[in-house]
Structure 1
Amino acid sequence: MGNLTRFHTADMPVLFDRIMKNSIGMDDYFDRFMNLHETTSNYPPYNLIQVNNVESRLEIALAGFKKKEVNVYTEFGKLFVEGQKEDTETAETFVHKGLAKRSFSRVWTITDDTEVRDVRFDDGLLVVTLGKVVPEHHARKDFL
């Protein structure tokens, strides 16, 4: 019992360096894990809904945005949603300004077997439908 080493959260980078020396092809997974603690903005607000065991729906509230100002794409196992809003100066005096209407970029990590099936933008709500690709040998087969 004298050889047991205790690790704390501050020791995680050192621990992962030790593990990564003995692993091949796991770099992406370790990088994702190490970057989980990074803080992200809460803007714009979103809902993530589990429709069933193979389909999810991401709803993002984009009040004040037009369809041409929003960009949705996937790259390297990540789903990117970006909104580019032009700064428009108005002569109006706001008593309260609760609608942000600012540019943003949000990123979600998606698994290798997840694909974007549909993207809709209606009435300030962006809806991204995600689905898991079920391999044929895992899909249900009825024989009788």
Structure 2
Amino acid sequence: MTNIQRYRASDLPELFEKISQNAIGMDNYFDRFFDLSAGKPTYPPYNLVNVSNHESRLEIALAGFRKNEIKVYTEYGKLYVEGNVVKDDDKTPAENFEFIHRGLAKRSFTRTWSLADDVEIQHVDYDNGLLTVLLGKIIPEHHARKDYL
């Protein structure tokens, strides 16, 4: 007879609780794993483009936002992008109209992405309603390609 136990997806939290009791220093990995199962927001839309083996580009559509309404920062291994709508007293002529259909959303938001330990932000740019974040993989010197001949 075998003593094999069958686990279901609903058993994962209990299983990881048992594992984490003996996994010193791995708390961050378990926290990241359980963050993945949380509901994901869909606004604003974005693309994640693989530029090369060591570089990726995050493109976020922020139509209607001004540069001073957007904040991009990293903290505790996460990339945060925040958009805060600033209400102006002097409305533009387009905002004085009654909309029949308003398909372009402009609302405050916060989006978060978990970053791997070997990923850093190389460049951030906002142009024509598109926020571009260039992400680079940190390659240790002993892993980098070296040509000898």
Q: TM-score, normalised by structure 2?
A: 0.92
Q: CA deviation at 1:91?
A: 4.3
Distance 1:87 1:4 in 2: 61
How many angstroms apart in 2 are the aligned matches of 1:120 and 1:91? 31
Supply the AA of the counterpart residue of 2:121. Answer: V
Alignment of 1:134 with 2:139, yes or no, is: yes
Structure 2: segments with no counterpart, 5+ residues? none
Rounded to whole Å, the distance in 1 between the matches of 2:86 and 2:26 is 41
- Which residue identity lines up with residue 136 of structure 2 in the other structure? G
Distance of 1:106 and 1:78 partners within structure 2: 10
> How far 1:92 moved relative to its partner?
2.2
**1:106 equivalent in structure 2:** 111
Match of 1:125 in 2: 130
| Distance in structure 2 (CA, Å) of the matches to 1:35 and 1:6 | 24
Query: Aligned equivalents of 2:37 and 2:13: distance in 1?
Result: 13
Size of the alignment, in residue pairs?
Answer: 144
Q: Which residue of 2 aligns with 1:9?
A: 9
Task: Give the structure 1 partner of residue 41 of structure 2.
Answer: 41
Would you identify which runs of 4 or more consecutive aligned residues in structure 1 move more than 3 Å?
A: 87-91
Deviations 1:39-84 (A, max 9, x none): 1211000000000000000000000000000000001110000000
* Aligned-pair Cα RMSD in Å: 1.3
Quote the Cα distance in structure 1 between the aligned partners of 2:114 and 2:54.
Answer: 17
Shift of the alpha carbon at 1:87?
Answer: 4.5
Distance 1:87 1:69 in 2: 10
For structure 1, which runs of at least 5 residues remain unmatched after alignment? none
Identity over aligned pairs, percent: 57
Query: Distance between the aligned counterparts of 1:13 and 1:109, measured in 2?
Result: 20
Which amino acid is 1:94 matched to?
F
Following the alignment from structure 2 to structure 1, what is the Cα–Cα distance between the partners of residues 70 and 55?
Answer: 23
In structure 1, what is the equivalent of residue 100 of structure 2?
95
TM-score by length of 1: 0.95
Q: Post-superposition shift, 1:3?
A: 1.5
Distance in 2, Cα, partners of 1:136 & 1:91:
58
SS at match of 1:14: helix
